[in-house]
Amino acid sequence: MLYTDLTHISTDEEYNKLLQENENVMLICGRMGPMCIPVYGIAEELEEEYPHVKFVDLEFDIPAAYPVRTLPEVRGFMGIPFTIYYKNGQVVKATSSIQNRQQITAILDEYFEK
């Protein structure tokens, strides 16, 4: 269980529905570890600033995370969380490990215009 204030997804159906129903998505796939917690916190803060982006989390070790863990964009990633940015259901950017607020907002601003 991820203890965040983000929307949690935990099934294949929720994952597919998320991508079908939201134009802009930032999905954080991780655990409650030291590299992941700061990214969740930043995403929670940014939800109000980026109302046109859907911020969600997904537990790394559950079966529903398989589509994220096997994306071509994450091959070679060595650390979690995997943060995946989707535009109209397609991956536009993927990062791994800890990211700071400036790195995240730069990606959001580049791919998800306000």
Residue 1 confidence class, pLDDT cut points 50, 70, 90: confident
Residue 113 confidence class, pLDDT cut points 50, 70, 90: confident
What tens digit of pLDDT does each residue of 53-70 get? 999 999 999 999 999 999
> Is the pLDDT at 99 greater than 90, yes or no?
yes
What are the angstrom distances between the C-alpha of 107 and each of 1, 30, 53, 96, 110?
27, 19, 12, 13, 5
Mean pLDDT of the chain: 97
The residue ranges of DSSP E strands in the chain, in sequence order, are: 7-9, 24-30, 54-59, 82-87, 90-96
Region class of 89: left (phi > 0), else alpha (psi between -120 and 50), else beta: left
pLDDT at 94: 98
Third-level CATH fold of 7-111? Glutaredoxin (3.40.30)
Cβ–Cβ < 8 Å for 96, 82: yes
Which residue is listed with tokens 């535009």? 87
Per-domain boundaries in the chain? 7-111
Cβ–Cβ < 8 Å for 103, 43: no
